[in-house]
């Protein structure tokens, strides 16, 4: 029994460091956070970070990955819908889960704050986070958007529409301090998040129904003149 307890201790210390680091990085950002403060909150020896993670940068990378993974497990993009669910329902689930992740509260809900800081001051950790966490969800949204666009679904249009959906969600998160001052009644509780998800979904569906591929747009007069000049030069 004693051996089992001893073998579990390093794992507990590692988890405690991850949670403490999540708090400190969310509050201070990567550059301002200190290993000393992280270890103080974790109740660990200052050498514990190097022992368990290697250095501060490796710890930060794991904190980001852990926070996003935990948030995605708590609020998966599908919210439990079956794979064959209608695209409209899957879009609403994707939007709602996104909002729930970034507005989640609690002692270990670092996802939203960490990502805002990381986007404001990107670190080398962002590459791994995009590869392992964000790109798979981006592909899932692109599949939903492509299905809703149908025959009009060029890669460029799918990308533009997918980014427009995400930008609506991110606006409410990034601009929350201003929104709170303009509209104090917006508390972003669960009921308001549900309403917001429904609005963003319907707004996006209307836009998708009227979306046109940019490649079908008529060239500008300047572009037409340049093309004619190029043809004339080739003939001469």
Q: What is the pLDDT of residues 196-216, one digit of tens each?
A: 999 999 999 999 999 976 544
Whether pLDDT at 172 is above 90: yes
pLDDT tens-digit profile of 142-152? 999 999 999 99
Q: What global pTM score does this model have?
A: 0.81
Least confident of 117-131, 132-146, 186-200: 117-131
Give the per-residue pLDDT at 20: 93
Rounded CA gap, 49 and 34, in Å?
11
Rounded CA gap, 141 and 31, in Å?
32
Q: What is the mean pLDDT of residues 129-144?
A: 94
> Domain boundaries in the chain?
9-214
Give the per-residue pLDDT at 229: 55
| Fold topology of 9-214 | Tetracycline Repressor; domain 2 (1.10.357)
Mean pLDDT, the chain, rounded, equals 87
pLDDT tens-digit profile of 32-85? 999 999 999 999 999 999 999 999 999 999 999 999 998 999 999 999 999 889
Query: Quick one: CA torsion of 148, 151, 152, 153, rounded to 10 degrees?
Result: 60
Whether pLDDT at 5 is above 60: no
Rounded CA gap, 106 and 70, in Å?
13
In percent, the amount of the chain with pLDDT more than 90 equals 71
Q: What is the mean pLDDT of residues 177-193?
A: 95
Query: Quick one: CA torsion of 40, 41, 47, 52, rounded to 10 degrees?
Result: 180
Query: Quick one: CA torsion of 91, 95, 97, 102, rounded to 10 degrees?
Result: 160
């Amino acid at each position: 029994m004693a051996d089992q307890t001893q073998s579990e201790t390093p794992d507990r210390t590692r988890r405690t460091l991850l949670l403490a680091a999540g708090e400190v990085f969310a509050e201070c950002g990567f550059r301002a956070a200190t290993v000393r403060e992280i270890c103080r909150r974790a109740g660990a020896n200052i050498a514990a970070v190097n022992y368990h993670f290697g250095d501060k940068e490796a710890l930060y990378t794991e904190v980001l990955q852990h926070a996003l993974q935990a948030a995605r497990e708590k609020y998966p993009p599908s919210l439990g819908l079956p794979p064959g669910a209608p695209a409209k329902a899957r879009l609403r689930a994707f939007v709602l889960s996104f909002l729930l992740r970034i507005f989640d509260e609690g002692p270990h809900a670092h996802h939203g704050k960490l990502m805002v800081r990381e986007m404001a001051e990107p670190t080398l950790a962002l590459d791994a986070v995009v590869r392992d966490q964000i790109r798979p969800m981006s592909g899932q949204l692109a599949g939903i958007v492509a299905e809703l666009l149908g025959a009009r679904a060029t890669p460029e249009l799918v990308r533009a529409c997918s980014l427009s959906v995400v930008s609506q969600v991110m606006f409410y998160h990034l601009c929350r301090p201003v929104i709170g001052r303009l509209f104090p009644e917006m508390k972003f509780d669960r009921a308001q998040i549900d309403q917001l998800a429904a609005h963003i979904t319907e707004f996006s569906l209307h836009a998708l129904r009227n979306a046109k591929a940019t490649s079908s747009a008529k060239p500008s007069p300047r572009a037409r003149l340049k093309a004619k000049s190029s043809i004339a030069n080739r003939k001469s």
